[in-house]
Copies of this chain bind each other. A is one copy, B any other.
Amino acid sequence: MADALEQLKTRMADLGQLFQLGMLLSWDQRTQMPPAGARHRGEHMAFIQRLAHDTLVDPEVGRLLDDLEPRMASLDPDGFDYGLIRMTRKAYDKEVDVPAELRSEMARAASEGNAVWLKAKAESDFQLFLPALERNIETRHKYVEALAPTGEKYDVLLDDFEPEMKTEDVTRIFAEIRDELVPLIAELREREIDDSFLEGDYPVDRQIELLQDVIDTFGHRPDSWRIDPTEHPFAASAGRDDIRITTHWYPNNLDSLFSTMHEYGHGLYQHQLPQEAESLPVGGPASLGIHESQSRMWENLVGRSLPFWRFYYPRLQQRFPEMLGGVDLDRFHAAINKSQPSLIRIEADEVTYGMHVILRFELEQDIINGRVELKDLPEIWNQKMHDYLGVDVPNDARGVLQDMHWSTGLIGYFSTYLLGTVMSVQIWEKMQEDVGDLDALMERGEFTPLREWLGEHIHAQGRKYPPQELMEKAVGSGIDAKPYLAYLKKKYGAAVAA
């Protein structure tokens, strides 16, 4: 009879395999699968989800955890073994209250909901989407009910994406951000910045070469990474040495550049996860918020910084001389940092981005607490977009239907985009303290020290700690909006001058 810890590892390694398979299937579905394959894929995903559920809630897992409980005091609390037991205990206690049939129902509703959403978005028809949305939200209500929380219902959902984060903490952080953003947005919308040259003739074949060169510059192992085109960019991984980022190139702008930097950040995290725990869930990423801190960092703190472009702009100009040959660095840098309220979250600039997330966070709480009727969502959405960003939504495709999350029942996910953005600045500042002058490094195109610091302090920690404990260890404090707000004010104060 193997030792209880070894037995737990063997079982949890199966769960790790299932996560990797699920990610690979999802990547395949969004980049390769013939469209008619969707009906099979729904079954595959439900199957994997069922196996994962069964693996986790096997009564033997409960017994092993009970056996191991008294032994935790003798384990190193900073080791993966300790982390594994702690996270498995939590996951087990939560999942054991979820009926297997509900998990299947959630998977089927998600699969169907996504297909309906694609169609509804294409036709900008919320009515078409409404029944699928209702079904997905219904599964979430059942899920919350099954877990019977004593506090906020929404906490249960948030915890799936950002472990141990509480609704009231997010509310407080977002209120702090909102108070600062609203006047800043108002101030910036008056600024005149010419970014007309970012629209025009950007041939796709040259963009593809550019994206490859950018990730070569940031640094990666070519035999472990690939880039594919997709409708909505994302990153996936079937193991540390199988990293797949995706992007969407448009022939008339450079959006693919920033989305690729973003996905590079996700990919690097997956690539630098701890080798010693790579087959286990505890070797996975800490949370979606921490994940997003990495993508937003490479996209914004590196990718929209002046020092990086001091280094890289000549290369970009060489690639697109017709469009950029006559545009100097300062004009280019001002253009890629132009702040202007807009309709679509994923196209939003650094300043207005937060308001898109806050809007969804508020709506989600209203939904889960039954304070809105789903059929009224478009109207409420449009009103909020007007109130928060001063923009008028022309149709639901560019409004409430723009994101896929709700179509698959993902409630509680959106907040992590802004939480991650906030944490990215805290992590950046600590890295600056440890590594030295990051601006100087970027100006020389030296990214190895950044990759290594992130690898050591964030990536290779895996999921040993809940995210806020990881932040304490890595940067010395839990999430704090102040550095982020100071960064925005400093940067966008400077942008005025440009």
Contact = CB atoms under 8 A, between A and B. Distances in A.
Given A43-B279, A47-B14, A28 B36 contact: no
A183 interface: no
A17 B49 CA distance: 13
Contacts of A20: 40, 44
Nearest to A221: B36
Interface in A1-59: 14, 17, 20-21, 24-25, 28, 32-37, 39-41, 43-44, 47, 51
Contact of A21 (B14, B44, B221, B240): B44
Interface in A201-257: 221, 223-226, 238-244
Interface in A96-143: none
Given A24-B28, A25-B24, A28-B24, A242 B33 contact: yes
Contact of A34 (B14, B24, B226): B226
B226 A40 contact: no
Contacts of A43: 17, 239, 279
Interface residues of A, number: 33
Contacts of A33: 238, 242
A245 to B, nearest CB: 11
Contacts of A40: 20, 238-242
Contacts of A32: 32, 226
A241 B28 contact: no
A36 B244 CA distance: 12
Contacts of A279: 43
Interface string A296-324: 00000000000000000000000000000
Interface in A343-388: none
A155 B36 CA distance: 39
Interface in A312-346: none
A35 B241 CA distance: 8
Contacts of A238: 33, 37, 40-41, 44
Question: Which 4 residue pairs spanning A and B have beta carbons closest together?
Answer: A40-B239, A37-B242, A36-B241, A36-B224
18 contacts: A17-B43, A17-B47, A20-B44, A21-B25, A33-B238, A33-B242, A34-B225, A34-B226, A34-B243, A36-B223, A36-B241, A37-B238, A40-B239, A40-B241, A40-B242, A41-B239, A41-B242, A43-B279
